Structure formats: structure tokens, C-alpha cells
Chains A and B, each alone.
Chain A
Amino acid sequence: MGLLNRLNEPFEGGGIVLGTVEDILNWGRAKSDWYLQFGLACCAIEFMAVNAPHFDFMRFGTIPRTSPRQADFIIISGTVTLKMAERIKRLYEQMSEPKYVISMGSCSNCGGPYWEHGYHVLKGVDRIIPVDVYVPGCPPRPEALEEGMILLQKKIRHEAIFNKRKRIAEEDKKLGLNIK
């Protein structure tokens, strides 16, 4: 349930919405994600199209930032060469928590067309940094990247903030996982 939907059933007198602090914090976080302005290969061209008015990435509340210290998430858009991988890792480490990663396109998912003979390509950016959303395609259509953004927003909205470890452990127990 989104926070705004509760405005339809307000309390007596109206104007009051009840929600947990976590709900409100996550609502704000999910709707204003700033991303690192960063492109790698041909996926970056598609990414530019998403930014342009036709697909209008900013309606998700995203703003490009040119510094990793101001960014909430990074879109790895393209082939990650071994030379670039070290730079990407450094950029990711410079971002402040909480931080997220969208891996865009086959190359950064798993090496793509370079999987066999690409001596210079890292076979998947998840070998160096944790990835939250994978967007398949070579390159993905702008709609696919937008779906990836929606998935990331969903993930942020349902994220635990307080007693994180305890709650995750409870969820794991429900799922039958025994992770310590």
C-alpha cells in the first residue's frame, strides 16, 4: 500500500494519515533517487535516450549527480573492462550508504558477447560490486530500463530500516532458510 492511497480513507476530519516512520522514510527515499552520471558503452546511448524527454527518466524522481558522494545509485551501463573495473569499484566505494546498483545490459550482467574470447572484459559486474537489479538486453530498450527503475523503487520501499538484522532473520526463518 502506498502512503498516498491512504488519503482515500482518512481519519475523521480528514488531513491525517497514519503510517510507520519506516513507511514515510522509505516513501521519500524511493521517490528521490539520485544517480551517478556515468556511462560505459553502447548501453549508455540507450540510457541517454531514457534521460531525454521522450522517456523522461526524471519522472521517477531521479537527478543525475556528477559526484559519487551525492549519488544513491549507479547504473552500470555497458561493457566493464578489467581496466575500468577497478575504477568502478572505487566509484562504488565512494558512494554513501544506502547505495544501490542497476546492472544494465548483457555485458555488465554476465560478459555478454565477450563471454568467451574477451580477455579484457570482466564477466559480470557482480564479481566486484553487489548488484540489486539486473536489466537484460543488448542493449535493453528504454522501457526495460524503466522497469528496472520501478523494481529498484519497489525494493527500496519495502526495505527494513530499524532492527534490520533481526527482521531479516525472522523472514529467513519463515522462508525456511537457516542463515547465521
Chain B
Amino acid sequence: MQAQEIFDKLKEKFNDDILELKADAPSDPIILINGAELFNIAQFMRDKEELDFDYLVDLISLDLGDNLGAIYIFYSMKHKHRIALKAIVPKDNPILPTLENLWRTADWLEREAWDLMGIKFEGHHNLIRILNPYDWEGHPLRKDYVTPEFYHGMKVPY
């Protein structure tokens, strides 16, 4: 199924929560959505017969200045089509619904996005850091992150 058809199908079901289609992206076509409805949209995409997105390829997090973004890339093994969903959340309250109940792989992907970018996934059963030490402070991939001087008595800068 082409990106435009997928977009139309989603628009038909969720109308105002599907914002726009960016088909000329250098990677996969991106559909901008309302983050609050992410869970319902993703569930529809997974369960609907002609969409059948059974594979969550990756979760990418972005720092957009005042906002944070999350891009979910989906793939259908059956229909061999890919699409990306993009949700934008404000930096001072970055909350998205968790998808770990739809795709098990979202568990670790969301922990990574929380660890490095600080997006909170509501409903996640174990939202703890995955790469950095548990007592690390801050979210290092944010643009306003400041490298600490010391960690456990070890000097960090060169």
C-alpha cells in the first residue's frame, strides 16, 4: 500500500488527530500525528487487516528546541510496506502513551528514549535507564545538556 493510501485510511478513522503526510522525506514517508492519540492509532495500524503493521522497526527521539519529537517506524511483513509516525510533545511536559503492550520491542526502545532524551512513556511497566548508570543525572542527547564535571569522584572532561 502506498503512503498516501495509508494516510487516507488513517485520516478516515481518526480525522483531526492525523495532521499531515510528509511523503518527500529522505527516508520513509512520515505521518505527523497528535501524540495523545498515539496508542489508538498504533493499535488500529497493527490490527487492521489491510494495514497489518506487525513490526516496530525503530523508535527515534528528537530534540526540536522547545519540543521533543518521537518517530516510530513500522513495517508490515505481509504487505511489505513501511511508514513512520511522528509525534511532537512539549519539552516541559514530554509525555507519550507507551506501545509496549502492542509490540514487545517497544519496551527497550522506550527505555532508551527515556534515558537519552527524557520522553516519559505513560503506562510503561519499568521505565528505568537502559544505557547510562541508574544514578545518572539528566538526559544526555538533549541539546541543552551540560556534561558533569565529576561522576563518582572521576573527572569527566578531558
Q: Is the interface of B mostly helix, strand, loop or mixed?
A: loop
Complex Cα–Cα for A18 and B145 (A):
66
- Chain A residues whose C-beta falls within 8 Å of the C-beta of B158 in the assembled complex: 110-111, 115-116, 123
Asked if B26 CB lies within 8 Å of chain A CBs, one says: no
The answer on a CB contact under 8 Å between A119 and B154 is no
- Chain A residues whose C-beta falls within 8 Å of the C-beta of B145 in the assembled complex: 119
The answer on a CB contact under 8 Å between A82 and B152 is yes
Cβ proximity bits B125-154 to A, threshold 8 Å, 1 near / 0 not = 000000011000000100001011001101
Given A119-B147, A120-B132: A82 and B154 interface contact (C-beta under 8 Å): yes
Asked if A128 CB lies within 8 Å of chain B CBs, one says: yes
Interface size class of B (residues with CB under 8 A): 10 to 19
Q: Which residue of A lies closest to B155 (CB)?
A: A127
Asked if B1 CB lies within 8 Å of chain A CBs, one says: no
- Chain A residues whose C-beta falls within 8 Å of the C-beta of B133 in the assembled complex: 82-83
Asked if A144 CB lies within 8 Å of chain B CBs, one says: no
- Chain B residues whose C-beta falls within 8 Å of the C-beta of A115 in the assembled complex: 158
CB < 8 Å neighbour of B154 from A111, A116, A127: A127
* A residues whose Cβ falls under 8 Å from a Cβ of B: 82-83, 85-86, 110-111, 115-116, 119-120, 122-123, 127-128
Sample 28 A-B pairs with CB under 8 A, ordered by A number.
A82-B133, A82-B151, A82-B152, A82-B156, A83-B132, A83-B133, A85-B154, A86-B152, A110-B158, A111-B158, A115-B158, A116-B158, A119-B140, A119-B145, A119-B147, A119-B148, A119-B156, A120-B132, A120-B140, A122-B154, A122-B156, A123-B155, A123-B156, A123-B157, A123-B158, A127-B154, A127-B155, A128-B154
